Amino acid sequence: MTQRLPEPQPKPRPHPGASNPDEVLTWGWDNQDDELLEWDPVPPGTLEVRVKTASEFLSSQLRFEVTDGWQRVVATGTSGWTRPIPSGLYSVALLSPDGTRSTQMAEVQPGEPTTVSFTVPAARDPYPDTTSYLLGPPAAASPAHARIVSLAGCEVTAANEAGWVFHPITPMISVPTVTIEVETSRWELSLPLNPQSAGAAGAECIVSLTWPGETGRLRTDFGPERRVARFMAGVRRSRDFALAEPTLDQASELLYWKYEDPPAAALGGLILHRLGVLPQRAPWVENLAGAFPFIPDSQVLLASLLRDDPDAEDRTRGLDILLAATTQRPLYTDGLALAMELLRYWPDDDSAQARAERLAMLAEFSVRADWNAVTLSVDVTPAAYDPAAPA
């Protein structure tokens, strides 16, 4: 647990919202139990929280938050948490495997146990039918109104009217991409494919066509078996960073140290950077950048750490890494944004011309990027991209 909490107060005071003046909060922290508050005695019951997901890791790591009848957060924990708790009404909010919050209500009766169970039904998976892609004939059908224009570093292994499944072509030397035409627009997408996976399911990603309005949009997702990676992407979309941070931290290390899924580890690193806690994770970032040079985002992450190093030599090394990484197409939207920020605000005046050149190169992505997408998605519709270019 990395969260810092206030020191316990010597004289607890009544909460202004508590209609019972005797009910007071005393702030404390038990590192083992993650209990945030204690109450004066009221008839207690027992509350247990269980979490079941298809991922053993996430089942044990996903965090929940318990809020009492006065809307105070009274505890956080992970699956298996069981505590005596004052009788009353509670809500339990879980950071779900898709990165969003699920909430359940509970009434704890005096002297009785109450269990809140979270399971991940198929319906909670935003793409419950994706496994059917794997069973169907390759490219037997394509999404209506859309077609693949070109591929780089990957192949299509399945498709239907809703989208495509992609696998990497190894060895991977750069970020794989696909260019897809949707009606009159054309998009070039970075694909988070995993060349480290021993099995096909752990390598794949999916691009699906959605219709939020009258305009078709493309959405890139990790394959359904890459559950930890999907959790990270879900957190990025939902922005529930506070509850996710401990899980993200451990998930990123897990993905890196086991060499399970380096692209997903890079995404975890980008989120941790956003939270300002990446400096504490410097060793695995250094190794990730060195071991997987085909993910420029990991090198950008390393450069971001070296930028703030008091040693000028390390800052120079960081700038060299940054300049090398920014000759490549980023995998993630946040990787692109971080790279441009570093190029623009590098603390030393070194290589100003080279930084300006890299910025100009990356601006070709940034000016037409879909900033709502987790993976880099760039509008390359010919007419809009360059009026002089042939359609």
Partner 1 sequence: MALIRGPAWGTTPATHALVVGVSRYPYLSGPGASDFGASFNLGDLTSAARSASEVVAWLLTEFRKPSAPLASIRILLSPAPGEELHPLVQARLAEMAGEPSGATRGVVDNNLTQFDAACREDPDNFAFVYIAGHGVQLTNRTAVVLLEDFADPATRQDLGGAIDVAQCNFGMSGGGGYARHQVWFCDSCRQVPEVARRFETLGGAIGVAKQVGEVDASPLFLATGARELAFAELNGVSLFSRALLQAVRGAAASGPDPTCRDWYVGTNVLNKYLGRRVAELTDVHGVSQSVEVAGKVRESVVQEFAEVPQVDVTLTLAPEDASPTPRIALRRNAREPVDVPEGWPVRIRLPAGKYLLDVQVEPPLVRGFSEILDLGPPDLESVHRAEVG
Which spans of this chain sit near partner 1 (rule: CB under 8 A)?
3, 5-6, 13, 15-17, 19-20, 25, 27, 29, 36, 67-73, 87-91, 103, 105, 107, 212-213, 238-242, 274-276, 310, 333-334, 336-338, 340-341, 344-345, 347, 356, 359-360, 363, 366-369, 371-372, 384
What letters, b where the CB count within 10 A reaches 16 and e where it falls short, cover 210-230? eeeeeebbbbbbbbbbbbbbb
**181 Rama sector, left if φ>0, alpha if ψ -120 to 50, beta otherwise:** beta
Which tokens sit at 373?
């997408």
Nearer to partner 1, 103 or 131 (CB): 103
CA atoms within 13 A on the CB side of 351: 21
What minimum distance in Å lies between the beta carbon of 107 and partner 1? 6
Nearer to partner 1, 11 or 198 (CB): 11
What minimum distance in Å lies between the beta carbon of 154 and partner 1? 26
Which tokens sit at 47?
């509350």
Nearer to partner 1, 60 or 103 (CB): 103
Which tokens sit at 203?
């390598």
Nearer to partner 1, 115 or 170 (CB): 115
Cα gap 133→156, rounded to integer Å: 11
What minimum distance in Å lies between the beta carbon of 301 and partner 1? 14
Cβ atoms of residues 63 and 75 within 8 Å:
no
What minimum distance in Å lies between the beta carbon of 195 and partner 1? 28
What minimum distance in Å lies between the beta carbon of 258 and partner 1? 28
Cβ atoms of residues 85 and 108 within 8 Å:
yes
Q: Quick one: which H or E segment has residue 114?
A: strand 113-119
Nearer to partner 1, 151 or 359 (CB): 359
Could you say which DSSP state residue 90 is in?
E
Per the DSSP assignment, residues forming a β-bridge with 160 are 163
What minimum distance in Å lies between the beta carbon of 142 and partner 1? 26
Compute the 3-state secondary structure of the chain and give helix, strand, coil in percent, each to the nearest 5: 35, 25, 40
